[in-house]
Structure 1
């Protein structure tokens, strides 16, 4: 542990260290190993530190086989011996705030409801804990948040202590430890005692406010999303910006945004219903118009029509409308795009030609697929032939089946 400066002083922002070695890993990434380091490697739910070695960016830090590897954006100068090291302090302190905040919020759920935390994730924007419960009420979440912020406002000390396994019975640990050596406790006296290898501030006051944002059920557990310290201000700024934009868009004060939004949605639904009704009416007129220009091929009433860039749903509706209006009609509708052909075929109640059989004859011509039954079928594929030729094949199939 002597070489892990982040344990000796988590507030260390810069230091100098000897370069022990510089190599590439199996993926071809350059990494450097120092005789001591303040860069925290990924572990215990806390992400790695970033910064620079001799001005070269550190993009990842991992502890592998007992050595801490500083992965670099580029190779260090081969003549380097002593290395000037700089920690990205904003990132480090943010992690310290979030990690300590997690300890406090987790302990609050235990103190109030005896809800244990079984998972922790420190993300780029939010932090989450998984509670070993299946339900969480709004009142419980707010009560835990209030207690957590009370602990913050009291500015309690956050202590770290290295202990032996024999000393553990002297502490009321929140959960059992998974290690028996190099045991490090993070302690908030009279509130939380927990084994942890992360970095934390000296006082709960430095954690800043703790705000629960949301929670959800995950595999019969409850995942609570929250932020601490500087991230609370970031969230507040983002949400305030959205609120300002909404007040301008809806022309309503902040307290009336919910009502204005509800009214806008309801009006939109009403307009959508009106548009749907108008579209249905237009389609019915279009169906009648197509039937009036029917092709009486071989005494068969056949509708053949090619459309450009229309939805298959519209063609299906048109075909159903026409077969409802005429028991004798056979309908072939085709939509054509730059690279695809889609078709719908349908028959009136008095016709006997199988639409499923006709569509199966068309699919090989366009490398297509689809489905349907004897009365109604549809499909689509590649534009390997023109729409006119595909419809001609369909008409020819009808006449062949009749004969």
Structure 2
């Protein structure tokens, strides 16, 4: 492994090699005599790039060989490999930033990293702690950026298992041979098979973006290098747009937005209260026109939540009342049946009678049921079936 080009010199962007084998395991791939293309592994995604003019879209290590999956055709013989360097360097920045941040949490708080994920947006580590404070996050971020700014060298060494005892490893290595140590002197010693730049300064900058609880651990999301600038640019654009719409300077946007949200919440509350009052008035009006305490009416585009509230208001106003309400909503026919407390017939009986007619589903209690199904019949016809069910 130590003779692979991506380990000999992780800064290699272009290289000559021999194409030894062409295969297909569901996708076309080639095997090279040596390669600078890094295969997926150790939390780091694969490289992409080109072999001659043919695109390399994936790289995996399978059955001891490194397979370069391609979009196109190649022949055996000499080829020139060229990495998508922007992608590779980004991965090196993020992976090295993970080493640095992980070591910071271990150094400051004795929090170990249990897993690492390098995504297309954020990078994340899982820490073996159930809680973490904003102050701790800030301290770890400051310490990580100190190490980056110091531009410490990043060294790699191939060791035997017996030689590991001479180093203060952050965690035990998982292999017994081909042990590769990535070293930031006097700071971090870690077994790792990924690619890294030659100094911490090339990471440029590290910023923690968010945290979330994952069972009994804390997941920390962060970005490094060019991704920090991308995140900053995106947030600047969003903030500027919000400030423009609120007609305030950017530094006042949060306060202004809170005022808008508070006003919107108050408006929603007032609107809900008005809607409740209108439903109560509508219930009284429907009861005034009821025949033998039965309110039976249908609507167009009336949410079933309104039907439920209306049914409750009707039966609260008149303990002897039965409310049979139906509505056409989009391609559905929905209904509610409710009874007052002095009524003994179960509304489940009504639902059981009409649901098969509209090939519907529903449920509820003896006092109130709701359901919906296909518009196989009209709302008026559905109400008639509901009224008939009361007589059975």
Q: Same fold (TM over 0.5)?
A: yes
Q: Which residue matches 1:137?
A: 133
Q: Does 1:176 align with 2:168?
A: no
Cα distance in 2 for residues equivalent to 1:233 and 1:267: 35
Evaluate the alpha carbon distance shift between residue 72 and residue 366 of structure 1 in structure 2; reply closer, same or farther with a 3 A threshold: same
Cα distance in 1 for residues equivalent to 2:130 and 2:388: 64
Cα distance in 2 for residues equivalent to 1:113 and 1:374: 59
Cα distance in 1 for residues equivalent to 2:323 and 2:362: 17
Q: Which residue matches 1:159?
A: 155
Q: Which residue matches 1:65?
A: 63
TM-score by length of 2: 0.95
Residue correspondence of structure 1 range 34-49 to structure 2 within 5 A: 34-49=32-47
Q: Which residue matches 2:306?
A: 314
Choose from 213, 216, 222 the match for 1:220: 216
Cα distance in 2 for residues equivalent to 1:373 and 1:193: 65
* Structure 1: segments with no counterpart, 5+ residues: none
- SS of alignment partner, residue 106 of structure 1: helix
Cα distance in 1 for residues equivalent to 2:297 and 2:152: 79
Matched-pair contact (CA < 8 Å) for 1:61–1:69: yes
Cα distance in 1 for residues equivalent to 2:139 and 2:233: 24
Matched-pair contact (CA < 8 Å) for 1:131–1:221: yes
Q: Which residue matches 2:337?
A: 345
Q: Does 1:376 align with 2:368?
A: yes
Evaluate the alpha carbon distance shift between residue 12 and residue 388 of structure 1 in structure 2; reply closer, same or farther with a 3 A threshold: same
CA shift, 1:356, in A, is 1.6
Matched-pair contact (CA < 8 Å) for 1:209–1:232: yes
Segment drifting more, 380-389 vs 310-319: 380-389
Cα distance in 2 for residues equivalent to 1:60 and 1:363: 54
CA shift, 1:207, in A, is 0.8
Q: Which residue matches 2:318?
A: 326
Choose from 104, 122, 125 the match for 2:100: 104
Residue correspondence of structure 1 range 199-278 to structure 2 within 5 A: 199-278=195-274
Q: Which residue matches 2:377?
A: 385
Q: Does 1:21 align with 2:21?
A: yes
Q: Which residue matches 2:6?
A: 6
TM-score by length of 1: 0.93
Q: Does 1:396 align with 2:388?
A: yes
Cα distance in 2 for residues equivalent to 1:383 and 1:12: 67
Cα distance in 2 for residues equivalent to 1:166 and 1:377: 74
Matched-pair contact (CA < 8 Å) for 1:19–1:34: yes
Matched-pair contact (CA < 8 Å) for 2:48–2:84: yes
Matched-pair contact (CA < 8 Å) for 2:349–2:389: no
Cα distance in 2 for residues equivalent to 1:338 and 1:88: 51
CA shift, 1:2, in A, is 5.9
Evaluate the alpha carbon distance shift between residue 118 and residue 338 of structure 1 in structure 2; reply closer, same or farther with a 3 A threshold: closer
Cα distance in 1 for residues equivalent to 2:2 and 2:306: 73
Matched-pair contact (CA < 8 Å) for 1:3–1:37: no
Evaluate the alpha carbon distance shift between residue 306 and residue 69 of structure 1 in structure 2; reply closer, same or farther with a 3 A threshold: same
Evaluate the alpha carbon distance shift between residue 19 and residue 2 of structure 1 in structure 2; reply closer, same or farther with a 3 A threshold: farther
Cα distance in 2 for residues equivalent to 1:236 and 1:134: 29
Q: Does 1:356 align with 2:348?
A: yes
Q: Which residue matches 1:121?
A: 117
* Structure 2: segments with no counterpart, 5+ residues: none
Aligned length: 392
Matched-pair contact (CA < 8 Å) for 1:3–1:35: no
- SS of alignment partner, residue 364 of structure 1: helix
